[in-house]
Structure 1
């Protein structure tokens, strides 16, 4: 099926290129890559069902409440966003909004909506739909929708200027908001969905304007999406703006990596998540390939609760930075498509600063710092001070299949300098509860976003603040200042300073940068990563 690009009239965008989100992403870490044979040649064929194997269960069908990669792979397909972000350049492109303007103080954002867009229940997209969505996300709050609520921090309300024009206002400068409107968490759902309670929004009844709709949702088991007939408003980043090629996508949960790989190689699945290095030969042997891209945002790392146990000692947190051999983690567990973390931001993120000298592996330096802080080796090799063992637990969830082996190797490395790291694997739900109550020593995770503001939502004292810390300078001032910086160079400098401040306070101990590695069968074409390294299936098709 051939699709033609619709012509749209675009008015000049105020302050175009102002935000760091528009800084070239490719220069910050490169684009997508693939192993194995190439994908089928076009033109695209219409029809067919893509069978996709997720490595863990989606947690909620609501895009506003989705946070794990495996969940977003599903929810991204049913919801459109006001703007889209080009994964190669980082530039913001039209989607549901064909034009937008930003006030000079970055407090007001006005969006003019495309004409003719409807939700899958037939109701039209209006400016009031946008207002109701943002109001509902604020009502959900940070406990239910942590990412979406953080993007709307300081939200003062939305004003409907006419049926297709809405102005979104904030109490203070909010330079990150324009890029945030490209995320699935701020995707626009129908007024009927926005009016539902948080729990009801997780049951697979969500109504969006996206290229697919929910056909079936089985919690912790599977999700089936069906093509949206009549879809004609695809993002400017898509290959075309009309209907998706696929008739259906069936997502099933296959936690075991070997089973996922075997199912792909045997033709029982068409694509799979989290293809590991040991899987590549089998995937390529079946005629498939592995597609991968680096995630922007905060890399995987240990976030310290600075109010608990030995982690209250800043000297301990500082000593752990050089105690970890990040290259060994990548070489032993992951493979060449992954990178060692070299800062508090991943290298593909706008505003990233290379701080590899600060996180260089130097176990002798780690031991010296602990010696100077009064932590002496005990009989079993674990250090002790005033009768207290140098020991802390780390909670983590299986949102990435390599988390446990990475932490097992990290555990060995830290033990070599006299630190006892206790592993506490949890389900996603259990981990969320422990995080919300700050019932942990270390929390191990990553967070993906193609904007440096992710430092604020991760570390600011007035945000989720999993470090459980009080106000501290200069970090909090820097995180606030970048919201009002309308010059991209100035904003990048502030974000760079904030990365240094996070390390100075020992709030994050980086390990590895996440890459999405997707196993794709020989008959599948057009599987694409969007700017935040999540999958977009609008352009995907099957050769038959």
Structure 2
């Protein structure tokens, strides 16, 4: 069975495409109707997206991008945070790509592939002529070397490790063919090959320590942009790879990128980013505040957005915690959040959670009934479990106060409203914002009752990655029924069976209170008047190969 493109959840149909898509084929892809969870665009005439077919791409210029936080580690094989992966997506390519509109898996560095009926063997046929930015050839040996390097990273590459779990061998019969064999069915692996966590670096890069790679020193990929300069907490500068000629079949053009380079500057203050965008000092604000959206749009600037697929922003209870170990508390928190009211504080481009998964995730099912606001029900759960209101309204049980401190680094102003809502049921949620490094260190200690975050992936298998007791095990829980259900999702290629199992697992996760969903993470980006074709790939990370700068094209 030969596969050239395949849906993330549908692996049973095959089409052999030995030649990468032509410009005509790519145009057909790009003009396809937007499906559920596709890119949301708003804007005015003369903006990046409004010109459409009438705009003629221009080469040249440096795209100036304002970040709100510094990526402490620049290695996409180690890190799963957007601030890192939005950069490494420009530096590294993948075996496959995923259509953000349909979820289909498309050719990139692999021009076609074969998948065994039992989903244990995956053979990729690579493109000719691909090179790393240091001039060395990208071959099947490069693929093998990188995947083995991910294995060697161990816990430092948690996400990548989960994608290749059960890998028994990597065979390279020739320079353009590589075969992965697993000891059990691994239906999620094909979509995983489209992610940056399985992106590719040169041999020189892989010889470095994990710590050296985090700094960005000699981080060499095959991508359209190369890393030029890194000054942490100041700027990360990329320059165009002039030899690039192997874009994804989803790309809008051939050859090198249009931009001369990209400069990611670290600008923590929202007011400064907003002012810089309005004045033209920066071209892109990657973290537009909801209160600034209308101001930017009134000035003719675009707000570009797309919900991140995968696990939504949620509170994650640790079953080892003094408070979070109580199922009644976990369930009460689900009932105690008025998600409809969150609409008053989140962006017009953002939506309250309706499941553990975001709506843009292939395999998503609406479970909003399980998230209904029921403060009386929440109070009854706590009463019955022995949590009684104290003099200050905060509940107490056996001398333990129903109070916890939540540390987080994300821009999440809605947490303050959640804090107020939970206080009405007697739960004291203290909020403490820290740096990424500080939060990561605290979470590594495993002492907190609750963590906050999300995990992005354009496949519902993210539930297994995030909640699986043998994977990241976000709840620090023992294996159980959820794991049995999630294991079934890797054993079948049938999309309907997989979706049914993912839905059952999500329902059980909510029933046990292992996730308290809040809102969908949405990338809300402001773009300047001269920015064209700023787009998101399937995982809602930036895809800047087709992006270009130019004046009024009307």
TM above 0.5: yes
Question: Per-residue deviation at 1:27?
Answer: 4.8
- Paired residues of 1:20 and 1:492 also in contact (CA < 8 A): no
Q: Which of 69, 82, 101 lines up with 1:56 in the alignment?
A: 69
Residue in 2 aligned with 1:418? 426
Question: Per-residue deviation at 1:20?
Answer: 4.9
Q: How far apart in 2 are the matches of 1:211 and 1:344?
A: 35
Question: Per-residue deviation at 1:526?
Answer: 1.0
Secondary structure of the 1:300 match is strand
Question: Per-residue deviation at 1:153?
Answer: 1.7
Residue in 2 aligned with 1:256? 269
Q: How far apart in 1 are the matches of 2:417 and 2:439?
A: 21
User: Does residue 1:518 correspond to 2:530, yes or no?
Assistant: no
Q: How far apart in 2 are the matches of 1:195 and 1:287?
A: 48
Q: How far apart in 1 are the matches of 2:523 and 2:479?
A: 35
Task: Tell me: CA distance 1:21–1:317, structure 2 relative to 1, closer, same or farther (3 Å).
Answer: farther
Task: Tell me: CA distance 1:322–1:22, structure 2 relative to 1, closer, same or farther (3 Å).
Answer: farther
Q: Which of 280, 287, 292 lines up with 2:305 in the alignment?
A: 292
Residue in 2 aligned with 1:485? 492
Indicate the RMSD between aligned Cα atoms, in angstroms: 1.9
Q: Which of 448, 455, 465 lines up with 1:447 in the alignment?
A: 455
Q: How many residues align?
A: 527
Q: How far apart in 2 are the matches of 1:251 and 1:14?
A: 35
Which digits, 9 at most, give the CA deviation of each residue in 1:114-142, with x for residues without a partner? 00000111111110000000000111122
Task: Tell me: CA distance 1:294–1:154, structure 2 relative to 1, closer, same or farther (3 Å).
Answer: same
Q: How far apart in 2 are the matches of 1:423 and 1:451?
A: 31
Alignment of 1:33-52 (within 5 A): 33-37=41-45, 38-39=47-48, 40=51, 41-52=54-65
Question: Per-residue deviation at 1:393?
Answer: 2.3
- Paired residues of 1:21 and 1:451 also in contact (CA < 8 A): no
Residue in 1 aligned with 2:359? 347
User: Does residue 1:146 correspond to 2:153, yes or no?
Assistant: no
Which digits, 9 at most, give the CA deviation of each residue in 1:57-86, with x for residues without a partner? 112222212321121111110100000001
- Paired residues of 1:290 and 1:518 also in contact (CA < 8 A): yes
Residue in 2 aligned with 1:497? 504
- Paired residues of 1:317 and 1:506 also in contact (CA < 8 A): yes
Q: How far apart in 2 are the matches of 1:447 and 1:459?
A: 11
Residue in 2 aligned with 1:537? 544
Which digits, 9 at most, give the CA deviation of each residue in 1:411-438, with x for residues without a partner? 1110000011122322111222222231
Q: Which moved more, 1:93-102 or 1:56-65?
A: 56-65
- Paired residues of 1:25 and 1:89 also in contact (CA < 8 A): no
Q: Which moved more, 1:413-422 or 1:32-41?
A: 32-41
Residue in 2 aligned with 1:6? none
Residue in 1 aligned with 2:344? 331
Task: Tell me: CA distance 1:154–1:214, structure 2 relative to 1, closer, same or farther (3 Å).
Answer: same
Residue in 2 aligned with 1:69? 82
Question: Per-residue deviation at 1:392?
Answer: 2.1
Q: Which of 166, 169, 176 lines up with 2:178 in the alignment?
A: 166
- Paired residues of 2:9 and 2:363 also in contact (CA < 8 A): no
Alignment of 1:295-374 (within 5 A): 295-332=308-345, 334-374=346-386
Which digits, 9 at most, give the CA deviation of each residue in 1:284-304, with x for residues without a partner? 344311111111100000000
Question: Per-residue deviation at 1:505?
Answer: 1.4
Which digits, 9 at most, give the CA deviation of each residue in 1:221-253, with x for residues without a partner? 211000001211000111023110000111101
Which digits, 9 at most, give the CA deviation of each residue in 1:492-511, with x for residues without a partner? 11111110111121110000
Residue in 1 aligned with 2:515? 508
Secondary structure of the 2:478 match is coil
Task: Tell me: CA distance 1:18–1:137, structure 2 relative to 1, closer, same or farther (3 Å).
Answer: closer
Q: How far apart in 1 are the matches of 2:343 and 2:212?
A: 40
Q: How far apart in 2 are the matches of 1:48 and 1:35?
A: 22
Which digits, 9 at most, give the CA deviation of each residue in 1:284-340, with x for residues without a partner? 3443111111111000000000111121111111111110011222322x1221111
Task: Tell me: CA distance 1:219–1:366, structure 2 relative to 1, closer, same or farther (3 Å).
Answer: same
Q: Which of 236, 239, 258 lines up with 1:245 in the alignment?
A: 258
- Paired residues of 1:20 and 1:451 also in contact (CA < 8 A): no
Question: Per-residue deviation at 1:447?
Answer: 1.0
- Paired residues of 1:18 and 1:486 also in contact (CA < 8 A): no
Residue in 1 aligned with 2:187? 175
Question: Per-residue deviation at 1:260?
Answer: 0.5
Residue in 2 aligned with 1:388? 400
Q: How far apart in 1 are the matches of 2:356 and 2:516?
A: 8
Q: Which of 464, 474, 478 lines up with 1:456 in the alignment?
A: 464
Task: Tell me: CA distance 1:514–1:525, structure 2 relative to 1, closer, same or farther (3 Å).
Answer: same
- Paired residues of 1:29 and 1:348 also in contact (CA < 8 A): yes
Secondary structure of the 2:43 match is strand
Q: Which of 66, 85, 89 lines up with 2:98 in the alignment?
A: 85
Q: How far apart in 2 are the matches of 1:493 and 1:285?
A: 44
Question: Per-residue deviation at 1:25?
Answer: 11
Q: Which moved more, 1:182-191 or 1:421-430?
A: 421-430
Question: Per-residue deviation at 1:385?
Answer: 1.7
Gaps of 5+ in 2: 14-31
Task: Tell me: CA distance 1:409–1:22, structure 2 relative to 1, closer, same or farther (3 Å).
Answer: farther
Question: Per-residue deviation at 1:166?
Answer: 0.5
Secondary structure of the 1:511 match is strand
Question: Per-residue deviation at 1:376?
Answer: 1.4
User: Does residue 1:217 correspond to 2:230, yes or no?
Assistant: yes
Q: How far apart in 1 are the matches of 2:143 and 2:122?
A: 12
- Paired residues of 1:523 and 1:542 also in contact (CA < 8 A): yes
Residue in 1 aligned with 2:9? 19
Question: Per-residue deviation at 1:372?
Answer: 1.6
Q: How far apart in 1 are the matches of 2:495 and 2:252?
A: 29
